[in-house]
Amino acid sequence: MYTIAALYHFSRFDAPDALRPPLIALCARHEVKGTLLVAAEGINGTIAGSRAGIDAVIAHIRALPGCADLEWKESTATEPPFGKMKVRLKREIVTMGQPDVDPLAKVGHYVDPAEWNDLIGRDDVAVIDTRNDYEVAIGTFNGAIDPETQSFGEFPAWWEANKDRFHNKKIAMFCTGGIRCEKSTNYLIGQGVEDVFHLKGGILKYLEEVPQEQSSWQGDCFVFDNRVSVGHGLKEGPHMLCHGCRRPILPEDTTKVGYEAGVSCPHCVDQTSDADKARFRERQRQMTLAKSRGETHRS
């Protein structure tokens, strides 16, 4: 059984590049795999490994400047969710492209999962899903507004074009683990929105804590590892990943026109060139060969 830890923390790192080598070495020593993003504004990522390995990495991160109160969300998997460990230096740990946004200055009001249903059921509250369109497509909260953005960086333009819809409304926002809401709520406060709320711990914490029979969540939640999706109780969902477009698909999609293993799915078959498909086929061939040799190639 693998322990999976999803984490983020905003903190000001004076030399983020100096944090990378020790993290790589520690994860290698404990055979922890996944992805961590490090920037001047903090750290973000998902890692998986043994209980002892995850504990060691979490302890190391909590010892970094300003990270003592780091919170993280855990789940488990029977198969390795990641094939390798990556620690990447970034300008932002979640890319919004708004230099004036600073979650360390001020964010919206945190709402615990147990109180979320009452909030989003109010007539004076508008609920906005801040995730990308392909994530929203497989699951969201009842009545939530889908901005239909392809990347988080599109959210400010969407808000500018739609803000008049929310006059005299309180805004409740949510995302997978909470990190996007740290920035989006700060952004809305900077735009003059007074009553902004966000789901503490994100969808993952809600699915972990709120019983299915009391839930306002419909569908599954996309996750950025080889599980692809999770449902209530953080149980692994039915989705698989199209390795052509990296979107979640269901098993029945593999029987539809446009699906080719490792190459395309009905969502993307018309969106990639013949050269792209040839490259994907070669990648799939190499993966099949590696699997036949008993090697593991997971991304």
Catalytic positions, written as ranges: 175
For residue 236, the 8-state DSSP code is B
Residues in Cβ contact with 119 at an 8 Å cutoff, skipping those fewer than 6 apart: 111, 125, 172, 197
Q: Look at phi and psi of residue 292 and say left if phi exceeds 0, alpha if psi is from -120 to 50, else beta.
A: alpha
Q: Taking Cα atoms as reference points, which of 10, 172, 199, 9 lies closest to residue 105? A: 10
Q: Is the dihedral of CA 75, 233, 241, 260 positive or negative?
A: positive
Map tokens 């492209």 to a residue. 97
For residue 15, the 8-state DSSP code is -
3-class DSSP assignment, residue 193? coil
Residues in Cβ contact with 296 at an 8 Å cutoff, skipping those fewer than 6 apart: 80, 83, 290
Cβ(271)–Cβ(251) under 8 Å? no
d(CA 16, CA 88): 10
Q: How far is residue 213 from each of residues 15, 209, 217, 241, measured CA to CA in Å?
A: 47, 12, 10, 28
Residues in Cβ contact with 112 at an 8 Å cutoff, skipping those fewer than 6 apart: 200
